[in-house]
Amino acid sequence: MIVKKSRIVSMGKTNTWEDHYTRRAREERWLARSVYKLEEIDRKVRLIRSGDRVLDLGCYPGSWSQYSVLKVGPKGEVVGVDLQRPDRFSSPRFRFIAADVLSLDVAWLREQVGTRELVISDLAPATSGISVTDTSRSIELARRALEVALAVLKKGGHFLCKVFEGPEVKVFRAELAGHFARVQTHRPSAVRKASREIYLLAMNRREPVNSKP
């Protein structure tokens, strides 16, 4: 089961999710506080550029797609994939595909969206509270997102995904390094202090070996 952090509701007396970023997102009309994680990474490395074609995996509730549409401008395009449509967001530069990322036919998706300059994934597993298990599940989702990214990214394209900190992250970073020129780890300020989530940014996809003459 895949869930988005923003869809989890605290059942205690105080809504612990109601923090500075939650209030700010509401005031600035973003669909979720998670937008500030993407915004900070983008600000640091200029990840999203005018005219880019972006694929947003696990796009619900839509804040990453919402932000990306603004950044790509009138000549760019964003395609979002999720089981649930982000029905509070629409744009002529946004297209939604209803699908489970884990069972998605990658070849079919490539036919639907063509090549992309950027693939972003904020996918997260339903957490168990057992750190080793949760990290393993997050890496499984990240590997699936990478499989999709490698099918649609053009040479020089970038890939951003969320994982939970743990021993398996080092191995996954090495996998990314085999396909991209640079791999960075980011922990944006909007990540909650108690969370183990980090973001791996793989930049400048190398030319696939099987594409060489």
- Ranges of each domain in the chain: 2-207
Closest C-alpha among 117, 121, 132, 109 to residue 58: 121
More confident residue, 8 or 169: 169
Q: Which of 162, 170, 193, 212 is catalytic?
A: 162
The pLDDT of residue 56: 98
Among residues 161, 152, 204, 151, the alpha carbon closest in space to that of 180 is found at: 204
DSSP 173: H
CA atoms within 13 Å, Cβ hemisphere of 45: 19
Q: Which CATH superfamily is domain 2-207 in?
A: Vaccinia Virus protein VP39 (3.40.50.150)
State both tokens at 92: 């002529």
Q: Which residues contact 125 (CB under 8 A, 6 or more apart)?
A: 1, 2, 3, 134, 137, 138, 140, 141
Q: Per-residue b/e over 70-104, b at no fewer than 16 CB within 10 Å?
A: ebbeeebbbbbbbeebbeebeeebbebbebebeeb
What's the pLDDT score for residue 5?
37
Residue range 17-43, pLDDT digits in tens: 568 899 999 999 999 999 999 999 999
Which run of H or of E encompasses 199?
Answer: strand 197-205
162 labelled catalytic:
yes
DSSP 104: -
What is the overall mean pLDDT for the chain?
A: 90
> What's the confidence (pLDDT) of residue 210?
62
pLDDT above 80: residue 194? yes
Write down the pLDDT at residue 128.
86
State the alpha helices, DSSP H only, in 46-178: 63-72, 106-113, 131-152, 168-177
Q: Give the pLDDT band of residue 7 (cuts 50, 70, 90).
A: very low
Tell me what pLDDT residue 8 has: 28
pLDDT score at 13:
32
Question: How far apart (Å, rounded) are the C-alpha atoms in residues 103 and 61?
Answer: 20
| Residue, of 198 and 208, whose pLDDT is higher | 198
The residue type found at 15 is N
State pLDDT tens for residues 122-158: 999 888 888 899 999 999 999 999 999 999 999 999 9
Q: What mean pLDDT is predicted for residues 169-193?
A: 97
- Token pair of 88 as six digits: 């509070």
Higher pLDDT, 115 or 211: 115
Q: CB of 124 within 8 A of CB of 2?
A: yes
More confident residue, 138 or 15: 138
pLDDT of 160: 98
pLDDT at 211: 54
**pLDDT tens-digit series, residues 72-112:** 999 999 999 999 999 999 999 999 999 999 999 999 999 99
Closest by CA to 79, choosing from 66, 96, 64, is 96
